[in-house]
Structure 1
């Protein structure tokens, strides 16, 4: 997999094309905004949305966990989309996926959707933490709010950057926004949308697309 290695706050981080970060020193895979069950929630409202997004999320996680030496998976909030994500069929898929990774430590930092959906069932053996969760030099959070003493890695925003070409050509890509105070991960989940970011002078944008990550 083509990743972009960066040094951030004294740590080597690999920005991965599949909208996640691998932290070698911690043997940890970081993702944000998985939103399991989001499409099912919309279908419950009789909205015509894609099927198979939950299985696609799990397949992508499987591929990442196989490709990288991961001791833990850290979710920076919004693991489940809503209470409708606790439907029996969705939970059955989630349990089947967890059984394939029984030895993996999973830590969920509660996001706004997690507070609405409720914590994952105890049978999934997922450690749940309130933000901020301090690990190494970082404050791991869902909300992109500055921490008084630690640089932040966060989600919530679903950042995207729009490349503009000639004749109104536009290419909208998920991105990582790396900053000394608050850095953002793109949304990992399928069918999550995005919010266009405009980097400040101190921020570096890394685009994710076409199987690679590259600096803007």
Structure 2
């Protein structure tokens, strides 16, 4: 069976008997279900740091929402599933952040949105009800997928998760190396890179059967399996 049509920058993989597209925007598109999966948005993280007196730059909320706009325009999803950590913290609920979210949600009122609660959501609280975002606990079963925040195994479904903010290291000549966000898959589960700006990343170790899909520029590619 061949994979469906997709943009030149996406990478098709077949998980749980379904083709999904790993996008360089650090999201997954499931064309059969017309669903976008987004992990670790962390809206308002910069605002949270500023509230604590850290002189970090602003604008990351608008950048994140603008990137979501591009994905919605490109794929016309019927549903977006946020795999945890939608808001970063209680301090993120500033009038400016909430107003930006309200304007953005109003623009995409026809798209069903679901948040699978993550560890930051337990501290930040659920999104305002006016945003019309369904909020559920993990696992949320959707087709063959178990939508989670924390990586884990499920008895019957393939897990899509976030939480780790995975990155991988590529080595060049000499001592050159670069860290890149990546998708990561093990038997029965896959972990998405953090979508949000200003989120950092965790360098994931190689392990038997583990596959990495690096994200760089406008492309996603499979890294060679370890010898």
Note whether the superposition's TM-score is higher than 0.5. Answer: yes
Q: Spell out, residue by residue over 1:82-135, the C-alpha distance to the aligned partner (whole angstroms, 9 max, x if none).
A: 001111111000001001101110000000000111111110000001000011
Q: Spell out, residue by residue over 1:17-69, the C-alpha distance to the aligned partner (whole angstroms, 9 max, x if none).
A: 01000000110110000000000100111112121100000000000000013
Task: Give 3-state SS (helix, strand or coil) of 2:32's partner.
Answer: helix
Q: Tell me, in whole angstroms, the C-alpha distance in 2 between the residues paired with 1:194 and 1:204.
A: 17
Q: Tell me, in whole angstroms, the C-alpha distance in 2 between the residues paired with 1:139 and 1:199.
A: 24
Q: Tell me, in whole angstroms, the C-alpha distance in 1 between the residues paired with 2:156 and 2:133.
A: 27
Task: Give 3-state SS (helix, strand or coil) of 1:143's partner.
Answer: coil
Q: Tell me, in whole angstroms, the C-alpha distance in 1 between the residues paired with 2:154 and 2:108.
A: 32
Structure 2 residues not aligned, in runs of 5+: 1-6
Task: Give 3-state SS (helix, strand or coil) of 1:25's partner.
Answer: coil
Which residue of structure 1 lines up, in the alignment, with residue 13 of structure 2?
Answer: 6
* Counterpart check, 1:139 vs 2:146: yes
Q: TM-score, normalised by structure 2?
A: 0.93
Which residue of structure 2 lines up, in the alignment, with residue 160 of structure 1?
Answer: 167
The one of 204, 207, 210 equivalent to 2:214 is 207
Task: Give 3-state SS (helix, strand or coil) of 1:51's partner.
Answer: coil
Aligned residues between the structures: 216
C-alpha RMSD over aligned residues: 1.0
Which residue of structure 1 lines up, in the alignment, with residue 125 of structure 2?
Answer: 118
- After the TM superposition, which parts of structure 1 deviate over 3 Å for at least 4 consecutive aligned residues? none
The answer to whether the Cα contact below 8 Å between 1:177 and 1:199 also exists between their aligned partners in 2 is: no
The answer to whether the Cα contact below 8 Å between 2:15 and 2:158 also exists between their aligned partners in 1 is: no
Q: Tell me, in whole angstroms, the C-alpha distance in 2 between the residues paired with 1:81 and 1:18.
A: 20
Q: Tell me, in whole angstroms, the C-alpha distance in 2 between the residues paired with 1:196 and 1:164.
A: 14
Q: Tell me, in whole angstroms, the C-alpha distance in 2 between the residues paired with 1:211 and 1:161.
A: 17
Q: CA deviation at 1:138?
A: 1.3
Q: Tell me, in whole angstroms, the C-alpha distance in 2 between the residues paired with 1:51 and 1:75.
A: 23
Q: Spell out, residue by residue over 1:115-168, the C-alpha distance to the aligned partner (whole angstroms, 9 max, x if none).
A: 111111110000001000011111110001212222211000000001122332
Which residue of structure 2 lines up, in the alignment, with residue 187 of structure 1?
Answer: 194
The one of 99, 105, 109 equivalent to 2:112 is 105
Which residue of structure 2 lines up, in the alignment, with residue 72 of structure 1?
Answer: 79
The answer to whether the Cα contact below 8 Å between 1:76 and 1:108 also exists between their aligned partners in 2 is: yes
Q: Tell me, in whole angstroms, the C-alpha distance in 2 between the residues paired with 1:4 and 1:80.
A: 28
The answer to whether the Cα contact below 8 Å between 2:186 and 2:209 also exists between their aligned partners in 1 is: yes
Which residue of structure 1 lines up, in the alignment, with residue 101 of structure 2?
Answer: 94
Which residue of structure 2 lines up, in the alignment, with residue 51 of structure 1?
Answer: 58
Q: Tell me, in whole angstroms, the C-alpha distance in 1 between the residues paired with 2:206 and 2:83.
A: 21
Task: Give 3-state SS (helix, strand or coil) of 1:106's partner.
Answer: strand
Q: TM-score, normalised by structure 1?
A: 0.97
